[in-house]
Structure 1
Amino acid sequence: MNIVISGGTGFVGKQLAETLIEEGHHVYILTRSPEKKLDTKQVTYIGWLKKGFDPLSELPEIDAVVNLAGTSLFGKWTKEKKEDIRSSRMEATETLVDMIGKMSKKPKVFVSGSAVGYYGTSEQDAFTEDTTKRGQDFLADVTYEWEETAKQAKRLGIRTVLARFGIVLGDKGALPLMQLPFRYFAGGKIGSGEQWLSWIHVQDAAGLIAYAIEQDSIKGPLNVTAPSPRRNKDFSKTLAKTLHRPYWTAAPAPVIQKALGEMSTLVLEGQCVYPKKALDSGYQFRFPALSEALEQAL
């Protein structure tokens, strides 16, 4: 298949490209700086989102489009940062939907990135794709708007998948930051430790997206999380054991809130999310258990 990826040079995007290449597909990666990239037999870099670029004129008939573009959530959530988080996702998604609409032959599937932040936060409730009620905080608002924009592809008759990512574990992303206190023998739970962390290994994140491209039965929300979410205190204990470091120092919530501001919700609050649709459809996780996922990632 010919598959387009926006955000294909990012953490998850690179892994997805590798996975799709291994399966024999040709990947077209949309980037603002194609001149800095080197095409290969199975990867072609296409310029977009800058004046002078016309990706449609360079693309062949496309079978699938995957949208992973959007600025990182990491960093102090100033007013400008929050607007960048929102606008980067809207711009990329709107541009892709518009591009798809102009294709003479439409792709069979559009997989658009989203986040488990859609559900809001809770220490008691568990969420699956059957959950319809969304949260009422900043991230929930952004993911709702993001998904509503992506749903415009459905009106073009295209199977649309809303990939709600949890915390992705690998050599980049959140894990390098999460492990730092433990490497300096100062690791422990964060805040109360009761907040849920819904995680997935980067190989499974890519694997599940590739699987969703192939499976015609998968549409709508898709939780891209492992089947074993953990509370922060349990995640931290497993991380400490994996790194052969002590687990003893708690990071008080007020300290985290002062240091990170509103972004502290990412570590002090969470949600227990299960990948019901992935399991029901038969996806086989490579790393269903946290200990194995951390061993490989670290």
Structure 2
Amino acid sequence: MKVAITGATGLVGQRLVDRLHKSHQVVVFTRSESKAQKIFPASSYPNLDIVVYQPTATGAWQDSISGCDAVVNLAGAPIAEQRWTESYKQEILTSRQGGTEKIVEAIAKATDKPKTLINASAVGYYGTSETATLDETSPMGNDFLADICQKWEAAAEKARECNTRTVILRFGIVLAKEGGALAKMLLAFNTFVGGPLGTGKQWVSWIHRDDLVNLIEQALLAESWQGTYNATAPNPVTMQQLADALGRVVNRPSWLPVPGFVLELLLSDGAKVVLEGQKVLPTRTQAAGFNFRFPEVQAALQDLL
């Protein structure tokens, strides 16, 4: 199989490339050729090609989609890395909706069209709640992130018009020690000032990075998969429970919470990603036959750390 991957140099993308390149031909789409070459040296990745592209612009790069059997679209500006100024909020939207539109445009123009599109989305689609239990049948929320996810998914759904099987995976918080929320929490715990972010009552719908990669691979190979699936472990936890589990694994105290106002000062609206959550279950994912290696957060953290 020949698989095109956007966002391949990111936290999830790198691990996905590592998984696929040994048995499939992989085409990495990147804005920085030098960065991709450093991460994926030709000596170690002989079945990998690198295509430089501008994600939201029509260009010659789109020709490289033709002849691919599948596209995995993971690209998008980071959500919780900086303040949500008006310009950055526009970048968050454009990098997802606009980038996906250009991928679908490339699929439509291809003479040899990909049979499958796996497109990322996020559990932010559902909005936030401390009380609701949500799954793939739940309605969208009414905040900024829900609107982003709806537009992102709508752009991907248009690939169906090209007779391309389309699978949308709504990612939860991806646990990996190399980056994301876990790396930020580890920094605090390793200096003995660890604890929950905010009140600790908010839900964290999480997934071990390897389970997410397994899920993407199964979605690629299982032709019966169509539509939307939650990419979250079957046992979400509160932020307090996550902090307690992390403290046990790294043998550090977990009693010192990071006040919400501190995160709001640093990230403005972006703090909502960790201060407000949602309890999301992978109902349709499990019904489709996917088995999580790490359904419990304690075992997931032990494996990662």
Query: What is the CA-CA distance between 1:192 and the residue it aligns to?
Result: 2.2
Quick one: which of 131, 136, 139 aligns to 2:142?
136
Give the distance between the partners of 2:245 and 2:117, measured in 1 at CA.
36
Give the distance between the partners of 1:177 and 1:86, measured in 2 at CA.
24
Give the distance between the partners of 1:66 and 1:258, measured in 2 at CA.
35
Q: Aligned residue for 1:158?
A: 164
| CA shift digits 1:5-57 (9 cap, x unpaired) | 011111101111111224x1111111123355244321111122188962344
- Structure 2 counterpart of 1:144, which letter? Q
Q: Aligned residue for 2:54?
A: 49
Moved more, 215-224 or 41-50: 41-50
Q: Is the 8 A contact 1:47 1:53 kept in 2?
A: no
Query: What is the CA-CA distance between 1:103 and the residue it aligns to?
Result: 1.1
Q: 1:52 to 1:290 in 2, by over 3 A?
A: closer
Query: Taking structure 1 as the reference length, what is the TM-score of the superposition?
Result: 0.94
- Structure 1 counterpart of 2:51, which letter? I
Q: What is the number of equivalent residue pairs in this alignment?
A: 296
Give the distance between the partners of 2:28 and 2:261, measured in 1 at CA.
42
Identity of aligned residues (%): 40
Query: What is the CA-CA distance between 1:191 and the residue it aligns to?
Result: 2.5
Alignment of 1:17-28 (within 5 A): 17-22=17-22, 24-28=23-27
* Residue 69 of structure 2 is aligned to residue 63 of structure 1: yes
- Structure 2 counterpart of 1:48, which letter? Y
Q: Aligned residue for 1:4?
A: 4
Q: Aligned residue for 1:123?
A: 130
Moved more, 181-190 or 227-236: 181-190
Query: What is the CA-CA distance between 1:250 and the residue it aligns to?
Result: 2.3
Give the distance between the partners of 1:57 and 1:146, measured in 2 at CA.
22
Query: Taking structure 2 as the reference length, what is the TM-score of the superposition?
Result: 0.92
Give the distance between the partners of 1:137 and 1:58, measured in 2 at CA.
36
Q: Aligned residue for 1:277?
A: 284
Q: Aligned residue for 2:209?
A: 202
- Structure 1 counterpart of 2:82, which letter? G
Alignment of 1:55-204 (within 5 A): 55-58=61-64, 61-73=67-79, 74-131=81-138, 133-170=139-176, 171-204=178-211
Give the distance between the partners of 1:203 and 1:119, measured in 2 at CA.
24
Q: 1:136 to 1:214 in 2, by over 3 A?
A: same
* Residue 293 of structure 2 is aligned to residue 294 of structure 1: no
Give the distance between the partners of 1:173 and 1:189, measured in 2 at CA.
15
Segments of 5+ residues of structure 1 without an aligned counterpart are none
Quick one: which of 255, 260, 283 aligns to 2:267?
260
What is the SS of the residue equivalent to 2:21? helix
User: Which of structure 1's runs of 4+ aligned residues deviate more than 6 A?
Assistant: none
Query: What is the CA-CA distance between 1:167 and the residue it aligns to?
Result: 0.6
Moved more, 170-179 or 135-144: 170-179
Give the distance between the partners of 1:48 and 1:246, measured in 2 at CA.
45
Q: Is the 8 A contact 2:249 2:302 kept in 1?
A: yes
Q: Is the 8 A contact 1:121 1:271 kept in 2?
A: yes
